[in-house]
Amino acid sequence: MNKAVVLTSGGMDSLVTAAIANQQYDIAMLHLNYGQKTENRELKAFNDIANHYGVSHKLVVNLNYLSEIGGSSLTDYKIKISDADLNYKGIPSSYVPFRNANILSIAVSWAEVIGANKVFIGAVEEDSSGYPDCREIFYDAFNKVIELGTKPETRIEIVTPIIHFKKSEIVNKGMELHVPFELSWSCYRNTDIACGTCDSCALRLRGFQLAGLEDPLIYEKKPDYTHN
């Protein structure tokens, strides 16, 4: 079985991505702490998910410099996590500058050393928060950088299996693959009970609501997002 590195934040999207990768590959899981406010809760979700899939090949990397650099509501305590506005078209304040390039670079360094030839990431383009580094063209360009920046014999490709899924399709795919949704964590704001009102909770809840399914997580509030 070929090896693949799976970037696993601990959220719903990376959980479903891990389940997809696990069907075809011997998976190694990479998690990044970058000083985000919910760092500890996400790390717990990562470990729970790795245990669920019996993955022993794990790497947790601390990117504390991303919070030192700042510029995002996820890492900067001076910037508040805003309530979701699912119709907002700009780049949200939760955007961490060029975060995914940092994350992919680490994943590729690790993949080159352990001999993995795929790096899975659960990026979502359409039904997403509007981050520029979650678009397919970004990953296509990054694949070119990998080809040019690694050893000639190295073949590593970024794979984005859910990039064109709507959140409700991700929920359905997860159900089909019997993923443990209850182990995942998506909330940007809290670490005990998901708030239900930040961008990330709103997108997740809307996904479940549109799929007509119940999210097993407990939320502080569960607004109806089906009309947003």
Count of positions on this chain that bind a copy of itself (CB under 8 A): 42
**Near a copy of itself in 66-105, by CB under 8 A:** 66, 68-71, 91, 95-102, 104-105
Confirm if 220 and 46 have CB atoms less than 8 A apart. Answer: no
**56 interacts with a copy of itself by CB under 8 A:** no
Confirm if 177 and 184 have CB atoms less than 8 A apart. Answer: no
Q: Which CB sits closer to a copy of itself, 71 or 180?
A: 71
Q: Which CB sits closer to a copy of itself, 19 or 104?
A: 104
**Near a copy of itself in 133-162, by CB under 8 A:** 133, 135, 137-138, 141-142, 144-146, 148-152
Range list of H helices, the chain: 12-24, 39-52, 64-69, 99-114, 136-149, 167-176, 199-211
Give the whole-angstrom CA distance, residue 59 versus residue 79.
29
Site string for a copy of itself, 106-135 (x = CB under 8 A): x-xxx-xx------------------xx-x
Q: How far is the CB of 97 from a copy of itself (least distance, A)?
A: 4
* 3-class SS of residue 57: coil
- Work out whether the CA dihedral 60, 64, 14, 26 comes out positive or negative: negative
The phi and psi torsions of 215 (rounded to 5 degrees) equal: -80, 125
Question: Which residues of the shown chain bind a copy of itself in the complex (CB under 8 A)?
Answer: 59, 61-62, 64-66, 68-71, 91, 95-102, 104-106, 108-110, 112-113, 132-133, 135, 137-138, 141-142, 144-146, 148-152
